[in-house]
Structure 1
Amino acid sequence: MSTDPNEKTITPVATLSALPLKSFSRGESYASADNRVADAIGLTQIGATYSEVPPGKSGCPYHVHHGVDEMFVILEGQGRYRFGGATYEVQAGDVLGAPHGRAEFAHKLTNTGATPLKYLAISSVATNDVLEYPDSGKLMAVSDFGTDAEGFHFIGRANSACGYWDDEPDSAD
């Protein structure tokens, strides 16, 4: 047994219904209550978040990750999965994929039922990631993604790009 006071105690079993949920809402379209269950059971190389989304809401905007694959396991409820140019009606028992890397893999899950949509979002882990938001034309670059660490976080628009050498001092000086 370790005597290191910084060593994390791992509990390898979590009951989803007993996890404390962190709630958020934004405007009329977005709301969710979540728990990063992977953290609760000591995982560091696989991400997993348990989410409950109220009727008529989505947990996040239409987006695609450039460094993280995602999979959603629908546990309860029903919804609409927008993936690329298609939409899919989903329900308990369905498994949804969201590969990384291309705009046509952008995705969004919306609760279309009368009860909370409950699902497990499972992902690969990448410390750094770039996300595209095709509906709004935004990009997000992050380090320490999915952690509580204070890393780099930038959100901007692709149409406000600048050149690599813009505003840099002359390197010949």
Structure 2
Amino acid sequence: MADNDKPIINPRDLALDHWSEGTFFESRDTSFGKRLGLKDLGVGYGEVPPGKSGCPFHNHHVEEELFIIIEGEGTYRFGTERYAVGPGDILGAPAGGPETAHHLINTGTVPLKYLSISTMAATEICEYPDSGKFDARTRTAAGERRFQFTGRPESAVDYWDGEPGI
């Protein structure tokens, strides 16, 4: 925990980062697990405007996620299904293949506010079924991103490609 931080945080006191990508992805959010002294558990808070999503449809191979809806209404796209969600709903996103792919879409008229909680694996692979991408990343023991690569299977190289003597 940072010197001035308590083991308690209220979302209304968080400084949020605002970002957007294209016409569908937008959020005001922040991560704050480290401020609570957590090393192996990621915690975040997000506010997604009406008609937007805070992330692409994706699945994790290692990490698990949990979302708690605080305010607003939305659709939880999970695998091939879509579920209406609202305040008090708790959403699970276990590790797996495309059958556990997920994202939240704000289908209401006010910002969709939620907590996100996830395991923090040292190494993770994510797939993005809508776009055919994958993402590989590693983290240091302190949770900082060490390596990240995003690509598509057709851009793969042979295991021995570029090695000396080959």
TM-score by length of 1: 0.88
Q: Is structure 2 residue 130 aligned with structure 1 residue 165? A: no
Identical-pair percentage: 47
Could you list the per-position Cα deviations for residues 128-173 of structure 1 after superposition, in whole angstroms to 9, with x for gaps in the alignment? 211100110101111128x7735111110012222212343336xx
Mapped partners of 2:45, 2:161: distance in 1: 43
**1 or 2, which has the higher strand percentage?**
2
Equivalent positions of 1:125-136 (< 5 A) are 125-136=120-131
Equivalent positions of 1:20-169 (< 5 A) are 20-144=15-139, 149-169=144-164
Aligned length: 164
Mapped partners of 1:15, 1:167: distance in 2: 51
CA-CA distance at 1:93 after TM superposition: 0.7
Instruction: Give structure 1 regions of 4+ aligned residues with deviation exceeding 6 angstroms.
Output: none
Unaligned runs of 5+ in 1: 1-6
Unaligned runs of 5+ in 2: none
1:65–1:151 CA distance, 2 compared to 1 (3 A): same
- The SS at the match of 2:33 is helix
Mapped partners of 1:99, 1:79: distance in 2: 20
CA-CA distance at 1:79 after TM superposition: 0.3
